[in-house]
Amino acid sequence: MLLPGKTQSNGEQSSASRNELDEAERLCAEAQALVGPSESRVSQLWLGPLYLEVLLEQLKCARLDDDEEKASRVFSDARQLITAYEQLVTNCQSPRFSNEAKRLRGLIDDASQS
């Protein structure tokens, strides 16, 4: 949080953004751990895209920072998550989430070529 009259430099903004992104990933992981083993498919359907978007943004940041170790780990996590999400969507047969799974798969496939 900024005090009135204070501004952040680009480096501070970047660091703050990455901290927020790491916090978002942590919260998504906790939510996934909570609803993953349950029969709450609706929660899993809504959480999946958010979690994948966060991972894709983390991947982009890791690549910008030339952190190949983190990029590799995050990309692996995203591939595992999209595979599980696609299976969930197939079982639920929801057109809205089927389209979302296709969109996210495309983003992950594009990220693999970057």
Q: Quick check: 58 and 74 in contact, CB under 8 A?
A: yes
Count of Cβ atoms closer than 10 Å to residue 32 Cβ = 17
pLDDT tops 80 at residue 3: no
Count of Cβ atoms closer than 10 Å to residue 39 Cβ = 8
Is 63 within a domain? yes
**Mean pLDDT (whole number) for 95-106:** 96
Is 2 within a domain? no
When divided into structural domains, the chain yields a total of: 1
pLDDT in tens, 63-98: 999 999 999 999 999 999 999 999 999 999 899 999
**Mean pLDDT (whole number) for 5-24:** 69
This prediction's pTM:
0.83
Report the chain's mean pLDDT, rounded to a whole number: 88
Report helix, strand or coil for 35.
Answer: helix
Q: How high is the pLDDT of residue 16?
A: 80
Is 5 within a domain? no
Q: How high is the pLDDT of residue 12?
A: 53
The position carrying tokens 């959480």 is: 47
Residue-number span of the structural domain to which 22 is assigned: 12-112
